[in-house]
Structure formats: structure tokens, C-alpha cells
């Protein structure tokens, strides 16, 4: 059970219910971090707006987006994010070998050059709060200016969600990361 109560639509003041409805409409349902983030409806609304763009309208190839999300989820040991994106990552073309390398903390072993560049970029930024010039230039060459900007925003967005999910102890029904996480 989350550390703070999940908010239902009926629990919101009438003038904030449209926020709940908009989140549900953009994602098909209100789940994951959003029921607890709705304890601050305006925060939930603004986070959802950015997330909608990054997930559904970004120029990033879906495989790159999902690989970055899974890397962040593992770096934050965020069971909910990893579990909720596992099937989607596979559907969008993230290779099984890449997912296993991330899950088992063996990356970049087992990764293609493209995967290693994306994973390395995310890992460096999370672990060091900086990205080396070599890593930056490789990803810039691969994705271009808008692409690297959107990759960085995607990584930051899922880091924020990972913080919220972990802080509020939002857990999936069946976690997929190893217990040591």
C-alpha cells in the first residue's frame, strides 16, 4: 500500500476532477504514480502533460524511448516502472538481451552499439549527474539536437517518476526486478 493515500476522482474537489479525467483520457486509465501525485492535482496535471508528449509525440524512436525508460527504472531500482514498461519495451523492439543486461546490471555487456550509447548516456547522467564529452557527442551524432534534448527530458521525467514511485512505495502486483533491488 502506498505511503500516502491514492486519490480517486470522487475524492478530488469538483473543480479538479477534470485533471483526473484528462490524465485518464491520455493514458486510458489513472494508475502508477498518478493516484498519489493527485494529492497535488496541479503537479499531477503538469507531470502528465509532459509525460504525454514524451511517450506519445516525441521524435525518439519508441525502442530508444523504452530502452531509456528501462535504464532509468533499473538505475532507480523502481519496481513499478520496470514492471509496467517491460512488455511495452519488448513490443517496441527492445531486445531481450538488452533487458537482461540491464536487469542483471551487466550493461554494456550484451548491448549493440546503439543500445550501449543510449544506456551509457542515461547511466552516466544518473550516476554522475554529468555526461562525458565522448558519450554526449556519440548520442548527439546518433539523435541530433532535438533527439538528445528529448532523450534527456525523457530520462529526467522517468527519474522524477521513479523518485515519486519509490518515495511513496507504489508497487506492482507482481514485481519483475530481482529481490536485491
pLDDT tens track for 114-157 = 999 999 999 999 999 999 999 999 999 999 999 999 999 999 99
pLDDT above 50 for 16: yes
In angstroms, the CA 76 to CA 126 distance is: 9
Predicted TM-score (pTM) of this structure: 0.95
Residue 47 within any structural domain of the chain? yes
Residue 17 within any structural domain of the chain? yes
Give yes or no: residues 91 and 159 share one domain.
yes
CB 77 within 8 A of CB 175: no
Residue 172 within any structural domain of the chain? no
Give yes or no: residues 123 and 138 share one domain.
yes
Residue 145 within any structural domain of the chain? yes
Please report the pLDDT score of residue 24 as a whole number. Answer: 97
Give yes or no: residues 68 and 135 share one domain.
yes
Which domain, by its residues, includes 33?
9-56
Residue 179 within any structural domain of the chain? no
pLDDT above 80 for 181: no
Give yes or no: residues 83 and 41 share one domain.
no
Give yes or no: residues 44 and 112 share one domain.
no
pLDDT tens track for 25-51 = 999 999 999 999 999 999 999 999 999
Residue 109 within any structural domain of the chain? yes
Residue 181 within any structural domain of the chain? no
Amino acid at each position: 500500500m502506498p505511503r500516502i493515500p491514492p486519490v480517486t476522482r470522487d475524492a478530488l474537489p469538483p473543480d479538479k476532477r477534470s485533471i483526473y479525467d484528462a490524465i485518464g483520457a491520455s493514458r486510458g486509465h489513472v494508475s502508477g504514480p498518478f493516484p498519489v501525485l493527485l494529492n497535488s492535482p496541479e503537479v499531477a496535471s503538469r507531470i502528465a502533460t509532459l509525460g504525454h508528449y514524451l511517450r506519445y509525440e516525441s521524435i525518439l524512436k519508441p525502442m530508444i524511448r523504452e530502452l531509456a525508460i528501462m535504464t532509468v527504472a533499473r538505475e532507480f531500482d523502481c519496481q513499478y516502472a520496470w514492471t509496467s514498461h517491460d512488455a511495452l519495451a519488448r513490443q517496441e523492439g527492445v531486445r531481450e538481451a538488452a533487458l537482461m543486461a540491464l536487469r542483471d546490471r551487466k550493461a554494456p555487456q550484451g548491448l549493440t552499439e546503439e543500445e550501449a550509447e543510449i544506456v551509457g548516456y542515461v547511466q552516466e547522467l544518473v550516476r554522475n549527474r554529468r555526461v562525458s564529452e565522448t558519450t554526449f557527442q556519440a548520442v548527439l551524432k546518433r539523435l541530433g539536437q532535438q533527439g538528445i534534448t528529448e532523450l534527456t527530458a525523457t530520462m529526467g521525467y522517468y527519474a522524477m517518476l521513479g523518485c515519486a514511485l519509490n518515495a511513496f512505495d507504489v508497487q506492482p502486483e507482481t514485481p519483475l526486478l530481482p529481490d536485491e533491488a
